[in-house]
Amino acid sequence: MTPDATGRNSDTSNSDTAPLSLSPELLEAVRRIAGTEQLLVAMDFDGTMAPLVDHAADARALPRSAAAFAELTGLPRTTTALISGRALDSLRAVASPPEHTLLIGSHGAEVWMGPGSSELMLDDAQRKLLAEVRKELEGIVEQAPGTLLEDKPAGVVLHTRLAADDVAEDAVAAARAVLQDRSGVFLKTGNRVLETSVVHASKGEGIAFLRQATGATAVAFAGDDTTDEDALASLIPGDLGVKVGLDFTRAEFRIESPVHVCELLEALLRERKRAVGA
């Protein structure tokens, strides 16, 4: 048993049925933002709605989070979005998002705003550079047991979750040494991953785009990873930012794990239904 966000002892396992309680300050912030005219609820997926797993394809949102998120999608003057480092195809496969949920993938490089959305297209120089990056990473993975690569439309991800700690550290250091000064290559560090991309994008830019595109008067965002700090830093007064986990954060509020996200989304749903008369 470990202290929850309020300091009480609670079960922080992956079960989404544990009795939990959000802090009074966070609940008050939820009530405030629920009354906004046009609400955007933007959520990270892995480590936020879904517990982290060793194999990315096995990730699934906790049922209570998925249910509350889906119901928020159907409310008046409310838009939901998933903002993920995953490629859009991967995000759709594991998240099964509601039909009208907007999607930001590859840390902002891919955007889906509904039927007819255009796909990400690389130019010849970017495709050539991406092939060079993959070749460099392939050489590192061959020497680092437990590491593997994941291809994305604009990049390649070096996964180290299954590697021993020292092997993971050496692999990431080797990749950084080769790629960090290469023009046109952008690196991001996440939970046991090193993301490479030939397109400059961030979750913060994704939040800004969605805010403008949806006409949101306030944004609620929750995320757990280092890359989510870009999104949290982009929030403005009147928004709600929540960090999932115990790492450093710019967020005003913090909860411990995806189990707590269930209660956060349920509280937001309850207060939003009240505000819009649903």
- C-alpha 145/C-alpha 160 separation (Å) is 9
Pair 238, 180 in one domain: no
Tell me whether residue 142 is in a domain: yes
**CATH code of residue 188:** 3.30.70.1020
Residue 5 lies in a domain: no
Strands 253-255 and 110-112: unpaired
The verdict on 179 and 218 lying in the same domain is no
User: What was the pLDDT predicted at 9?
Assistant: 36
Q: What string of DSSP letters covers 20-88? A: ----HHHHHHHHHHHTSSSEEEEE-TBTTTB---SSGGG----HHHHHHHHHHHTSTTEEEEEE-SS-H
Number of domains observed in the structure of the chain: 2
Of 197, 225, 255, the residue that ends a domain is: 197
Range of the domain at 228: 19-118+201-276
Is residue 193 in some structural domain? yes
This prediction has a pTM of 0.83
Distance of CA 114 to the CA centre of its chain: 19
CATH number of the domain residue 270 falls in: 3.40.50.1000
Answer whether residue 28 is part of any domain.
yes
Tokens found for residue 277: 């008369």
Instruction: Give the C-alpha separation, 2 to 6, whole Å.
Output: 11
Distance CA 230, CA 247 (A): 14
- Identify whether 3 is part of a domain: no
Residues 153 and 165 in one domain: yes
Residues 41 and 100 in one domain: yes
pLDDT score recorded for residue 21: 73
Per-residue pLDDT of the chain (278 residues; tens, 9 = 90+): 333 333 333 333 444 444 457 999 999 999 999 999 999 999 999 999 999 998 889 999 999 999 999 999 999 999 999 999 999 999 999 999 999 999 999 999 999 999 888 788 899 999 999 999 999 999 999 999 999 999 999 999 999 999 999 999 999 999 999 999 999 999 998 889 999 999 999 999 999 999 999 999 999 999 999 999 999 999 999 999 999 999 889 999 999 999 999 999 999 999 999 999 98
**Same domain? 130 vs 244:** no
Q: Are residues 101 and 28 in the same domain?
A: yes
Q: Are residues 100 and 32 in the same domain?
A: yes
The Cα 131–Cα 150 span in angstroms is 13
Q: Which two tokens stand for residue 204?
A: 């913060």
In this structure, the answer to whether residues 50 and 177 fall within a common structural domain is: no
Domain end, chosen from 160, 178, 197, is at 197
How many other CB atoms are found less than 10 A from the CB of residue 229?
20
Same domain, 102 and 211: yes
In a shared domain, residues 68 and 168 = no
Question: What DSSP element (H or E) covers 115?
Answer: none
Of 174, 197, 220, the residue that ends a domain is: 197
Which residues, including other chains, have CB under 8 Å from residue 52's CB and lie 6 or more apart? Answer: 46, 59, 191
- Residue 99 shares a structural domain with residue 193: no
Same domain, yes or no: 42 and 137:
no
Q: Is residue 7 part of a domain?
A: no
Q: Is the residue at 8 inside a domain?
A: no
**Contact yes or no for 72/61 (Cβ under 8 A):** no
Q: Determine, yes or no, domain membership for 169.
A: yes
